Amino acid sequence: MPEIKRRALLAGLAALPAAACTELAETGPAGDLFDAAENWHRTAHRALANRQALAPEYTPEERSPDIRGNGTRTIETPEYRAAQAEGFANWRLSVSGLVQNPLSLTMADMRALPQRTQITRHDCVEGWSAIAEWSGPQLSDLLDMAKVSEEANFIVFRCADVLYDRDYYESVDMVDAYHPQTIIAHELNGAPLPEKNGAPLRVRIERQLGYKHAKYLTAIEAVASFEDIYAGKGGFWEDVGDYQWYAGI
């Protein structure tokens, strides 16, 4: 229970319901209600718009001067530095899990696939936004090449970065995995992805907030459930901070 500072009468009045709230949130029923409300938002969003509806795209002039790097901005491991020194020529992205045809793709393979270029807005859960041009193959093409099996319900993204001693990872359901704007970007504003934005590969999940857009991708995995992966909530921030798995709100 956090300490309540009684600086003023107003403070005390405001603190009464709020302290009760914190206690409530940590008990079962409120947590269940929060999960239910999150699901209602996702259900409402998908009922209101076509499941393939596109996030707004902008003109080159509407881009912001830069796109802020957040979360991991640099990876200080010898392996990453070595990969970076050789222009990620030997970086591999695996596509595995519930697939009939597992893949191990090089950066050259990624560039050889049909590309999608989109100028989209990146919205961080903290509140800020930036607009930039992203290019790369569509995730749906990779999944089709790997022949995802029917039992797969989610796509998990595994990453090279480690925060708070934990591997970063994320996951989305098949609606967002097969969305046309869901791409594995290797270029930002026409140049190779900078380190702070996830070099050499990051996923774009354009209808959700920034923490879903996993950076420094090493593997894509089709799974039936993410309950057995790390702490089981489907993503790094979901596990560490109880962030919402559906980040479209």
Partner 1 sequence: MKRHSLITRIWHWINAAALIVLFMSGLNISNAHRFLYWGNYGFDPADAWLSVMRFPAWATIPQRYDLAEARDWHNTSAWVFAVGLLIMWIASLITKHFWRDIATSPRDWSPVSLIKAIKEHLPGRSTPHDRPYNPVQRIAYGAVLGIFLPMMVFSGLAISPGFEVSAPWLVDILGGRQSARSLHFIFAWALFAFFVVHLAMVLASKPLTQIARMITGGSREESHDA
Binding mask 66-85 for partner 1 (x = CB under 8 A): xxx-----------------
Q: What residues contact 150, with CB distance under 8 A and at least 6 apart?
A: none
Residues 132-161 that bind partner 1 (CB under 8 A): none
* Whole-number Å distance between alpha carbons of 169 and 15: 36
Segment 238-244 long-range contacts (CB within 8 Å, at least 24 positions apart): 239/166, 240/163, 240/164, 240/166, 243/125, 243/211, 244/38
The residues with which 119 forms a beta bridge, in sequence order, are 133
- Using the rule CB under 8 A, is 163 a contact of partner 1? no
Largest Cα span, the chain:
66
> Could you tell me the smallest distance in angstroms from the CB atom of residue 77 to partner 1?
27
- Residue 230 interacts with partner 1 (CB under 8 A): yes or no: no
Which of 189, 175, 169 shows the shortest CA–CA distance to 235? 169
Return the residue of 39, 60, 62, 101 that touches partner 1, per CB under 8 A.
62
Position 190 contacts partner 1 (CB under 8 A) = no
Positions 3 through 22 that interact with partner 1 (CB under 8 A) = 4-5, 7, 11, 14-15, 17-19, 21-22
Q: Which helix (H) or strand (E) holds 218?
A: strand 217-223
The residue within the footprint of partner 1, chosen from 103, 113, 119, 125 (CB under 8 A), is 125
User: DSSP state, 16?
Assistant: H
Choice from 126, 144, 151, 227 touching partner 1 (CB under 8 A): 126
Contact present, 77 and 207 (Cβ < 8 Å): no
Question: Which token pair is 156?
Answer: 């998990």
In the list 38, 141, 167, 187, the residue contacting partner 1 (rule: CB under 8 A) is 38
The token pair at 118 is 């989109």
Is the CB of 91 or the CB of 246 nearer to partner 1?
246
Q: Which amino acid does the sequence have at 126?
A: E
The yes or no reply on residue 53 touching partner 1 (CB under 8 A) is yes
Segment interacting with partner 1, rule: CB under 8 A, options 72-80, 90-98, 129-137, 195-203: 129-137
Token duo for residue 109 = 């393979």
**Binding span for partner 1 by CB under 8 A among 105-113, 143-151, 160-168, 204-212:** 204-212
Of 83-91, 119-127, 184-192, 215-223, the window that binds partner 1 (rule: CB under 8 A) is 119-127
Please check whether residue 115 is in contact with residue 136, taking contact to mean a CB–CB distance below 8 angstroms.
yes
CB atoms inside a 10 Å sphere around CB 54: 14
130 binds partner 1 (CB under 8 A): yes
Residue ranges in contact with partner 1 by CB under 8 A = 2, 4-5, 7, 11, 14-15, 17-19, 21-22, 25, 33-34, 37-38, 40-42, 44-45, 48-49, 53-56, 58, 62, 64-68, 121, 123-131, 206-209, 237, 241-244, 246, 248-249
